[in-house]
Amino acid sequence: MELFSQLPSSKLTPSDMTKILLFVVLSLFLLSGCSSKKLLQTQDFTKPINTTKTPSLTNTKKAIPEYKPSLNNWITIALYEEYKKWYRTPYEYGGFDTSGLDCSSLIQNIYKDAFNIDLPRTTKDQVQKGYEVSRNSVREGDLVFFKTGYKQRHAGIIIEKDKFIHTSTKRGVSISSLNNPYWREKYWQTRRILP
């Protein structure tokens, strides 16, 4: 409080300090979701923007995925090729390349490279694209969205049946099941972009 007492005509009450602290905490919470804005080109790329990368994932980038698709349709094949390219790329909030990326950037990159479709950068904007389909009607290429916190969202791409590609803080780019109890509980909606 000494810092504030040196400011002219600044008399903060404990109530004021509580409001300021609450504002800071809520601001940090709102900024901690999976979706993010594309980084400005003026950023200094010599310094890392985030230290949440998992070094062990980066070192095993060349590993071969254990998952093999059971379907041979063109969408699954295209998604599997993209999955192999991104496999184990570490999660990095705001990241957008093979050194690290978040879920919305992964979706944006895969859709551009596999289908030549431009999608927005954030989950907030991606969930507005295409049209909603029921969970029981999911098919390859559909986007799945999850509510992982009060205002936090997460997303992935269905590769086949109940399996989806996404990026996680623990395993990097990987494949999970919609039937996993965690994802089943957090499931929000599915959007279809592809015809």
**Average pLDDT rounded to a whole number, residues 31-55:** 43
What is the Cα–Cα distance from 29 to 151, expressed in whole angstroms?
A: 8
User: What is the Cα–Cα distance from 195 to 189, expressed in whole angstroms?
Assistant: 18
How sure is the predictor about 15, in pLDDT bands with cuts at 50, 70 and 90? confident
On the question of pLDDT at 72 being above 90, the answer is no
Of 5 and 159, the structure prediction assigns the larger pLDDT to 159
Residue 154 is among the residues annotated as catalytic for this protein:
yes
Superfamily classification of domain 55-192 = endopeptidase domain like (from Nostoc punctiforme) (3.90.1720.10)
Which of 34, 57, 75, 103 is an active site residue? 103
Average pLDDT of the chain is 81
pLDDT given at position 77: 93
Residue 129's alpha-carbon distances to 33, 54, 95, 119, in angstroms, are 19, 31, 22, 8
Report the pLDDT averaged over residues 4-31: 60
Supply angle C-alpha 182, 154, 144, rounded to 5.
80
* pLDDT tens-digit map of 89-144: 999 999 999 999 999 999 999 999 999 999 999 999 999 999 999 999 999 999 99
Residue 34 appears among annotated catalytic residues: no
pLDDT at 58: 46
The predicted pLDDT at position 22 comes to: 64
The whole-number pLDDT of residue 89 equals 95
Q: Is-contact 101 92, C-beta < 8 A? A: yes
Assign 174 a pLDDT band (cuts: 50, 70, 90). Answer: very high
Residue 132 tokens read as 């909603």
User: Rounded to whole angstroms, how far apart are CA atoms 128 and 191?
Assistant: 8
CB 100 within 8 A of CB 111: no
168 part of the active site: no
Query: 0.75 exceeded by the pTM?
Result: no
**In Å, what is the CA distance from 26 to each residue of 54, 65, 147?**
27, 39, 18
Residue 166: pLDDT over 70: yes
Q: Which residues contact 163 (CB under 8 A, 6 or more apart)?
A: 67, 175, 176, 177, 178
Q: Which of 53, 88, 153, 166 is catalytic?
A: 166
